[in-house]
Structure 1
Amino acid sequence: MQLLYPCDPFDKNQPDEAYAEEFHAAKAAGLTCFLFSAEDFASGDFRPRPANQFSGNILYRGWMLTPERYAQLEQAIAAKNAALLTTAHQYRQCHYLPAWYEACRDVTPGTIFLTRDDDFDAALASTGWQAYFVKDYVKSLTTSRGSVARNADEVREIVGLMERYRGQIEGGICVREFEELLPETEERYFVLSDQVYAREDVVPDIVLDIARRIDSPFFSIDIVLNSHGVARLMELGDGQVSDRKKWDAAKFVGMFEA
């Protein structure tokens, strides 16, 4: 497995600080690692280092990209006679909640998808839900206000705060039925080439089931128990842009050695 990481903005020969531990763990494991400048790429200049070794299948490990930006990365890598392991279509299927929701709707909270101009009052009334969890297609609000709403006005408030603090709503608005969860039970699993990996080597049946439903070479599955002790899928994500969370760096890169 060959890995592509963002470099330090001030030293293009070193990994970005956020990925340094993982990068060095991968190198220590004997994996081939490349660096590129995310800032230069945003300006249309893609120069992986070391350039003379850049070929074959590449797995990106870096910052979240919009599906459109990821497609540009796929094209830039192809122009260097290499190929991303995950296609732009597969990236979108795991990165945007509406793209994976239908495949997993029986194991995840009910969700409706809205645009900024929709009639929130009418849409929420049709659900019959008592409370809502609000996010865009990728992220929820991370301020102290939180993302839980109990009426349309509060949904509008959360959407406005997302726009204010993040600059935009990515994709659209997801309103999910609120469930009481046990946050201390949340665990992130990874699926690589149809093999499921767990931080503590125990894979629940629900994770194996979800893994069989998704057509992507590398993605993450976030499972949490609700207040009734039922395992629920809270997020699916493209593995390339998913945080390790509680995973040790060496344990994480061990997936790529298999």
Structure 2
Amino acid sequence: MREHPTVLLIVPADPLRPRRPDAHFAPEACAAQDVGVDVAVVDHDALARGDDVRRAVARVTVEGDAVYRGWMLRSERYAALADALASRGVTLRTTGEQYRRAHELPGWYPGLAELTPRSAWTAGAQRAEFDRARRALGGGPAVLRDFTKSMKHHWHEAAFIPDLDDGEAAWRVASRFLELRGNDLVGGLVLRRFERFTGAEVRTWWVDGVCVLVGAHPDTPYDAPPEAFDPRTVSGPVAALGLPFVTVDLAPRADGVWRIVELGDGQVSDRPSTMEPAALVGVLCGRS
């Protein structure tokens, strides 16, 4: 763990009351202030658009080591945020390069390949690139996504591919995915070998390579992790990534083996409603 505690928590501002934290992150902001951590707000919409980033961080007036807890940003937008904050004397714990490695699957997959479904991806959205990745993965069922997100709520039309050997059917799913993602597409297309899971996902939180919290996944907040669950089974590879603050989602496969479903940057990973904000803020800001 870091020797110097975080002195600043940065959260998105409420769009209608720009001096106040966004309601979704207000509980964490209050918890931070309760333990003596300063809170500052930024204009998320301006950051997401990429226009006038310096104005977006104008209300950050405290210098020092900081953590962002907010809505998802594209990697290049997060890097711009980090640069703008640095010009104001604020150092985000997670650098732009670290954020990209955590936020985008090609950044974290090589280090966790043995613990997660086999994957292949493209450098863009062209059919030829998609077919190359499809053949590299081999036949059988797969799940489609881009570097950061799937369309799991459109499972049969834009996520699940029953058989990669059926190129035309697979491309129809990919085409629908591209249509739905539109300009929000990040990176290229990712194909992941389908594995059947038999229980709810568990979201684990890691600071400097150490698992500090284990809880439910935000999609299933009342499904507590089973007592037998042990995050230490993946601790070595996760720590070896050298990322300062990440979440790792795991689920039990049909054969009972726990598999990594996703790794994400902890700054933009949602907290389940059943997790007390003070618990997360405490371990994140060194005040636990």
TM-score norm. by structure 1 comes to: 0.90
Structure 2 counterpart of 1:28, one-letter code: D
Match of 2:222 in 1: none
Match of 2:239 in 1: 212
Distance apart, 1:217 and its partner CA: 1.0
Match of 1:221 in 2: 248
Residues 1-258 of structure 1 mapped to structure 2, 5 A cutoff: 1=6, 2-41=8-47, 42-44=50-52, 45-49=55-59, 51=61, 54-114=62-122, 115-119=124-128, 120-121=130-131, 123-146=133-156, 147-151=159-163, 152-168=167-183, 169-184=185-200, 186-199=201-214, 203-245=230-272, 246-255=274-283, 256=285, 257-258=287-288
Structure 2 residues without counterparts, runs of 5 or longer? 1-5, 216-226
Structure 1 counterpart of 2:277, one-letter code: A
In structure 2, distance between residues paired with 1:194 and 1:122:
34
In structure 1, distance between residues paired with 2:25 and 2:180:
24
Distance apart, 1:162 and its partner CA: 3.1
Distance 1:179 1:30, change over 3 A: same
Distance 1:248 1:64, change over 3 A: same
Distance apart, 1:62 and its partner CA: 0.8
In structure 1, distance between residues paired with 2:230 and 2:155:
34
Structure 1 residues without counterparts, runs of 5 or longer? none
In structure 2, distance between residues paired with 1:79 and 1:251:
31
Distance apart, 1:127 and its partner CA: 2.9
In structure 1, distance between residues paired with 2:127 and 2:154:
26
After superposition, give the CA deviation of every residue in 1:109-150 in whole Å (9 maximum; x if it has no partner). Answer: 100112311434454244333100110000000434352112
**8 Å CA contact retained: 1:222, 1:234:** yes
In structure 1, distance between residues paired with 2:260 and 2:80:
30
Distance 1:121 1:12, change over 3 A: closer
Distance apart, 1:72 and its partner CA: 0.5
Aligned-partner SS, 1:101: helix
**8 Å CA contact retained: 1:219, 1:238:** yes
**8 Å CA contact retained: 1:149, 1:155:** yes
Distance apart, 1:220 and its partner CA: 0.9
Distance apart, 1:182 and its partner CA: 2.1
Distance 1:126 1:162, change over 3 A: closer
Q: RMSD of the TM alignment (CA)? A: 2.1
In structure 1, distance between residues paired with 2:29 and 2:171:
41
Q: Which has the higher strand share?
A: 1
Q: Identity, % of aligned pairs?
A: 30
Distance 1:80 1:104, change over 3 A: same
Distance 1:127 1:22, change over 3 A: same
Distance apart, 1:192 and its partner CA: 1.1
In structure 2, distance between residues paired with 1:172 and 1:206:
30
**8 Å CA contact retained: 2:112, 2:238:** no
Distance apart, 1:38 and its partner CA: 1.5
Distance 1:167 1:125, change over 3 A: closer
Aligned-partner SS, 2:175: helix
After superposition, give the CA deviation of every residue in 1:154-187 in whole Å (9 maximum; x if it has no partner). Answer: 4323333333333232111110100001242x11
Distance apart, 1:211 and its partner CA: 2.5
After superposition, give the CA deviation of every residue in 1:30-66 in whole Å (9 maximum; x if it has no partner). Answer: 3221111123444312334352xx2011111111111
Structure 2 counterpart of 1:178, one-letter code: F
TM-score norm. by structure 2 comes to: 0.81
